[in-house]
Amino acid sequence: METLLCLAASLVFDRRKYGGSTSHLAGEPVPTLARLFKRPNGSIIAKMSNLDGSLAHGAKHEVHVAAQLLGSPAQLDASYRLILDSARMAGIGPDELPDFLGLEDDDELVLLGQEELLQSDLEVAVQAQVARWAEKFPDIAEPVTERLLTAAARVGQHRFARNVLQNNGHRCTFCGLGVRAGGLRAQRMLVASHIKPWRVSNSGERLDPRNGIAACPTHDVAFDTGLLTIDHDLRIHVRPEVQEAAEDDTAVRSSFGRPPLAQHLLLPQNAIPPGVRYLDWHYEHVYRRVGGARPPSFTPECPLVA
């Protein structure tokens, strides 16, 4: 149970942010799991490291468990629910073991942000790491390694999307659309994707919430294709031809008129704004590439990143 709960916790907790000297600072669900199993925080984090293969001398079977269950969210969902049901029958309530994946209300376990990950991009990224893993774990078969690395990338994308949605207040930052009802349909009303795409980002950029933005599907596609861009002052710019179309076409105006499109990015008061270098990347490689005029607040003091 400890192994499976630590694996489930990896969907919401990034253990790489905490080492031996900082494990006492780890957030939920680590402290709760540590109390439940009468272990220190560091032991729970070490178990999570075993599961993602970070410890060269970690238990081999745990890598197989992670590869199997992370590669099959439905199996992980079933295992997690079984543990929660058994805990409740044994008198272990939400205070001792909270439902940190939010599944007890019959929601389905869904990995967020997966629409951004093309299989071809995943394969390229995984193959670049397989050789290093073969040296580190020579007794683990390559197919298992590939499954675990693929699953790890998908879990990282899930945590990234989850953090971006939380940071952006679960609303489209372009128009303010937010649907707080439960269920899959509500989740699909918002997309949390990278400003600098996953396929061209390094490992740190792929997990950086400053490289993410939450948007409704319409404005997500518009941003990804260069119909919209954001300047250093977080002003939203629309390509001139789209602005002109919005003046004459009611349907276009319903998405790109002002309103509903905001003048500035809509962020909660304490939100972390998008990183300037990611906005520069988007302007240089997306907006300008399709012929967008240079927004005035992209200033020489903030040079573009090639």
Distances (CA, A) of 50 to 45, 174, 274: 9, 41, 33
pLDDT for the residue numbered 301: 39
Please list the pLDDT of the chain residue by residue as tens digits (306 residues). 999 999 999 999 988 888 778 888 999 999 999 999 999 999 999 999 888 877 655 566 788 888 888 888 899 999 999 999 999 999 999 999 999 998 887 678 888 888 888 888 888 888 888 877 777 777 778 888 888 888 889 999 999 999 999 999 999 999 999 876 554 445 668 899 899 999 999 989 999 999 999 999 999 999 999 999 999 999 999 999 999 999 989 999 999 999 999 999 999 999 999 999 999 999 999 998 655 455 555 543 343 332
8 Å CB contact between 203 and 196:
no
Cβ–Cβ under 8 Å, residues 129 and 149: yes
Closest CA to 27 of 113, 79, 100, 88: 100
Q: How many CB atoms lie within 10 A of CB 235?
A: 15
Q: Note the pTM of the prediction, 2 decimals.
A: 0.84
CA-CA-CA-CA dihedral for 254, 260, 261, 264, to nearest 10: 170
| Start-end of H helices in 20-167 | 30-36, 41-51, 60-70, 73-89, 119-136, 142-167
User: Residue 300: what pLDDT?
Assistant: 37
pLDDT for the residue 106: 67
Would you state the structure tokens that stand for residue 176, as one six-digit string?
């303010």
pLDDT in tens, 126-162: 888 887 777 777 777 888 888 888 888 999 999 999 9
Measured distance CA(107)–CA(116) in Å, rounded = 22
> What whole-number distance in Å separates Cα of residue 277 and Cα of residue 303?
9
Element (DSSP H or E) covering residue 242: helix 240-248
- pLDDT value at position 226? 93
User: What pLDDT was estimated at residue 238?
Assistant: 93
Q: What does the pLDDT look like over 50-65, one tens digit per residue? A: 888 776 555 667 888 8
Q: Give the helix/strand (H/E) hosting 214.
A: strand 212-215
Please tell me the chain's helix, strand, coil percentages from 3-state DSSP, rounded to the nearest 5: 55, 5, 40
